[in-house]
Amino acid sequence: MSGTKGARGRRFEGGLAPDAAELNASVGFDWRLLPHDVEGSIAHARMLGRQGIIPTDDVEQIVTGLRAVQGRLERGEVDWDTALEDVHMNVEARLIDDVGDAGRRLHTGRSRNDQVATDLRLYARAAAARLVAAIDRLRAALVGQARRHVDTLMPGYTHLQRAQPVRAAHHFLAYEAMLGRDRGRLVDAARRAGESPLGSGALAATTFPIDREGVAADLGFAGVTHNSLDAVGDRDFAIELVAACALCQVHLSRLGEELVLWLSQEFRFARLPDAYCSGSSLMPQKKNPDLAELVRGKTGRVMGDWVTLMTVVKGLPLAYNKDLQETQEPLYDAVETLEASLGVCAGMVDALELDVARLRVAVGEGHLVATELADYLVARGLPFRDAHDVAGALVRRALDRGVELAGLSLEELREVHPLFDDDVYGWLDPARAVDRRDVVGGPARGRVVAEIARVEADLAATAAASSEARDTQDV
């Protein structure tokens, strides 16, 4: 490559040792920054032209050349050169080869330090937007299942023991609530990545009369950073984004675990199509929920990405240090792992078929309405702790008899406490028990239907806003 000697320049004689060059190079992973690097360079070049720092003719050559270089690299018409270390030097070297001295003027007033900091912030914001869209697709799948199963009852669990009946819709909406919080964290992380560090130079800004605010606006940033030392060494935005990814992956892991349980022969609550399962190399009868297990298993990986980022930055002095190169791979891995997991989970949830008959049987087993007996007595004036003891005694009696609570006669109920009357059996109907929990956030039918409508409206509003934003960008 004739256009440049790379970042080392004439200060150094010869190149790095082969093993040192291999360790030093980042183009094997930072190629992901290509569109953001070109976008940032175009904005920087145009600003240099507006400020009269470089000739206008050079600006046009640079812009046209950058777009051509990006296209050739994206199409694979030219190879990435590890000798040029990173995406920035690969782009600049090819630009100089194409347009000569105009390309050599592009780097005026900036350093690779503020350049990569800018590229990474642009990447983080774009990644957050993709992840938010993927979360919304999974939320829509969960709400779709909730809509289909408003009137399907299932056991609710604590300690993985059957506890009280709930609507299946309410269960699906619990995961939607988790993902709603994840969405908010990603949006928040993207907002804090919304300040442009370009113009901070290597660490002490630049002597050229640059327009930082103008470049920031061109790149869609809300503003600029206010300390050049901090700006080039800051990776908080990446740490926050990966932390949000890790927690979201944890929520997907919980969903994956429940799918594994529901699909087991012990539970038999649900079925998944073959597209999301695999067989056994030995046992022909097996149908394994491998994709749900993989989503669960990848959680450790994304959590590890966050730990890696924290460990890299924990002891760094100001300002830029080469260690910061090690923050890129965990960022890319966390984003790409979560994005893939969200897509698979949306597909699994959308394709999931609940065994309604099996769930109906499960709700009728295990004395899930025991709390209703206690509530019945409380409604008649008995203190709750006393009512709880009475209900516990009746559960024990039902277990001894081998029946559910509704199988006990009124006489048996009154033997334990005289406040019971014929109307108690209405309280022992699971559907009525669920609908008595008619509070905000509860599983009563009206509350669940209202929550489904609220989430659907939120998703529709978000989709409309995203469409409007895309249309504005196109214009």
DSSP state of 298: T
Angle at 85 between CA 128 and CA 38, to 5 degrees: 45
Query: DSSP 3-state assignment of 339?
Result: helix
What is the helix, strand, coil percentage profile of the chain, to 5? Answer: 65, 5, 30
Let me know if 280 is a catalytic residue: yes
Candidate list 280, 341, 388, 467, residue with the active-site label: 280
Give the span between the Cα atoms of 302 and 247, in whole angstroms: 9
Whole-number Å distance between alpha carbons of 31 and 34: 5
3-state secondary structure of 377: helix
Compute the distance between CA of residue 85 and CA of residue 380 in angstroms, rounded to an integer: 78
Examine the residue annotation and report whether 226 is marked as an active-site residue of this protein. Answer: no
Region of residue 110 (left: phi > 0; alpha: psi -120 to 50; beta: else): beta
The pairing of beta strand 353-354 with beta strand 195-196:
unpaired
- Are 352 and 272 in contact by the 8 Å Cβ rule? The answer is yes
Among residues 2, 159, 226, 281, the one annotated as catalytic is 159
- Residues near 368 by Cβ (< 8 Å), separated by ≥ 6? 155, 156, 162, 163, 164, 165, 430, 433
Place of tokens 């408003």: 150
Question: CA-CA distance, 174 to 202, in Å (whole number)?
Answer: 47
Contact 332, 124 (CB under 8 A): no
Peptide bond into 319 cis (omega under 30): yes
Burial category of 38 from C-beta neighbours within 10 Å (exposed 0-12, middle 13-18, buried 19 and up): buried
Catalytic residue ranges: 159, 280
